[in-house]
Structure 1
């Protein structure tokens, strides 16, 4: 089985990029944006992109499963960011140089405090024992998702620590990538994986999951949603695929290479809009496989896992059609 890369750091574009002197559609108040050129990133050839596994880039928030207090636990992404003064200094430098290269940080003074439970992401570089920010001025990291923490209530809704399970969206057991299943998966099976949390209250809900009255959130392991009919890694061919193929109604593509390297292309890299009016993921049928044993005894009947357990065996024609009878 191919080893899928863990998304601990920012993923490089499959193409070389350049800066355009136009307001960014992705980042507010950024007076320029980054676009892909037709030139392949040299690292792509070294990683043998031709044999890489192409998967859907999902629009959500990144999570991580690793131990906390001796048990497998869900962690939320929390990048340590600069304080206002340092951020202003960084943005001014970035604007004048069109790059962050050469900027000097004082890590002890320039960054906001983080919870004591915070840990830096894998591969974050350190200097004098302190983690160093990346080119975006962030120090990627994680905090454990604990029950009762309102800031991470949507993360909490997809895990049940008393039974050690998580609510996961994945291809069906026979690897039919045209049909999805919603399953209660042991956290031990997800150990050291990164996943994307998608749903009603995440990033504007591009996949149409649930509603405010009945929010639906799901975890998706990175690299689990494969793309079946992708053309060669060529700018024009990929542009046409995004524009004219139903399977191209995705935020982007992530390639998982045999050496563990990851590369991506986002619709914004190609000058294309996102979110799309419709999505390939939202149109897929979804089968519910959440049995009652995955829900803790005495668990509130309104919990998300309990709601899905009452739908065990039900198949929805489209993922976006999921609903719970009142």
Structure 2
């Protein structure tokens, strides 16, 4: 299997988009809506979208695994954003010019401070030694997830740095219909981006765990394939999302052979998300977390809880529970 591209930047939509002056379906505070036209994006055509690998776009928060303190580490997404004054100036310019092109930033003065450990994402452009904001006015980047940082406690729950492993939800090697949760060496995930999903992430659209027993895990981007994807056609995609059981997903991300990533989100097509019964929630899962509680830092942590379920199979991932 070829190595899939990591998600470091905003991914373009498979269709050309336009802005409508109406309340966003995706962001409550946003007073405009970005919607798809029926015209396929030339970027997608140039990347041979028809020959691309279609994968499920999962609804969580983006993470990255790379070296920190001399060992593989989980990093959380942290985009550097403008301060209030700069944001106001930027929005006014956008409204006047209907575009952000030509807007001039002063990165040193216009942006909020970030931790010293922050690094910009791959392919962020630089000018005079400073990272340059994208068309949304953000500088995508990452911060390492350390165990004592309460802000990233749910990120921390899926990694054990002493053992050097992460809890990963992935397709089972022997059955494409079955998912598995496994403790995967962090070294085997180096330079990959993954989606953190679970109880306390983005409203938990997949129904994982509960307040009493939170369940979180990482899913490598591109690992969940769509077996019978619809053609890249506006009407056929709309029909697939609305009528096919496999279409009860947040969106599709196409991994093109040249490394280009292309996506479509249900909101682009004017469709609702989340669905009451997401397709991903209904999939069967088996637990493959070997070891004992003594191997992990805390007997009540997520690794130990899953290790006590080693070999157990659930008919749906939303049925995972630790107590009988």
Structural mapping, 1:124-273, within 5 Å: 124-174=124-174, 176-273=175-272
1:39 partner SS: strand
Alpha-carbon separation, structure 2, partners of 1:226 and 1:28: 30
Distance in 1 separating the partners of 2:294 and 2:48: 46
CA deviation after TM superposition for structure 1 residue 296, in Å: 5.8
CA contact (8 A) 2:7 2:193 kept: yes
Instruction: Determine helix, strand or coil for the equivalent of 2:282.
Output: coil
Q: Name the residue aligned to 1:32.
A: 32
1:282–1:320 contact (8 Å) kept in structure 2? yes
Q: Is 1:57–1:254's contact at 8 Å kept on the other side of the alignment? A: yes
Q: TM-score, normalised by structure 2?
A: 0.98
The corresponding residue for 2:63 is 63
1:105 aligned residue? 105
2:17 corresponds to: 17
Q: For the residues of structure 1 that align with 2:280 and 2:65, how far apart are their CA atoms?
A: 23
> Any idea what SS the aligned residue of 1:85 has?
helix
Query: What per-residue deviation string (whole Å, max 9, x for no partner) do you get for residues 61-93 of structure 1?
Result: 000000001100000000001111111111222
Counterparts of 2:27 and 2:177, CA distance in 1:
33
Separation of aligned partners in 2, 1:50 and 1:7: 20
CA displacement 1:235-279 (0-9 Å, x = unmatched): 100000000001000000000000000000000000001111110
Q: Which stretches in structure 2 are left out of the alignment for 5+ residues?
A: none
Measured after TM superposition, the shift of residue 185 of structure 1 is 0.2
Worse-superposed segment, 30-39 or 283-292 = 30-39
Contact 1:26 1:268 survives alignment (8 Å)? yes
1:161-191 deviations in Å (ceiling 9; x for gaps): 00100000000022x3321000000001100
- Separation (CA, whole Å) in 2 of partners of 1:210 and 1:14: 33
Residue number among 288, 305, 308 corresponding to 2:306 in the alignment: 308
Q: What are the superposed Cα offsets for residues 202-238 of structure 1, whole Å, 9 maximum, x if unpaired? A: 0000000001111000000000000011111111000
The answer to whether the 8 Å contact 1:19/1:98 transfers is no
Q: Which moved more, 1:28-37 or 1:212-221?
A: 28-37
Q: Which runs of 4+ in 1 moved over 4 A?
A: none
Instruction: Quote the Cα distance in structure 2 between the aligned partners of 1:123 and 1:208.
Output: 35
Query: What secondary structure sits across from 2:9 in the alignment?
Result: coil
Residues 37-72 of structure 1: CA deviation (Å, up to 9, x unaligned): 111111111111111100000100000000001100
- Structure 1 CA distance for aligned equivalents of residues 240 and 71 of structure 2: 43
Counterpart Cα distance in 1 of 2:282 and 2:101: 42
Contact 2:163 2:296 in 1 (8 A): no
| Superposed displacement of residue 19, structure 1 | 1.1
Write the distance in 2 (CA, Å) between the matches of 1:33 and 1:100.
Answer: 16
How many residue pairs end up in the alignment? Answer: 324
For residue 72 of structure 2, give the secondary structure of its aligned residue in structure 1: strand
Secondary structure class of the residue paired with 1:177? strand
Distance (whole Å) between structure 2 residues aligned to residue 288 and residue 298 of structure 1? 17
Q: Secondary structure at the match of 1:312?
A: coil
Distance 1:307 1:298 in 2: 10
Structure 1 alignment gaps of length 5 or more: none
On the 8 A contact 2:160/2:296 being kept in 1, the answer is no
Q: 1:126 to 1:298 in 2, by over 3 A?
A: closer
State the superposition RMSD in angstroms: 1.1
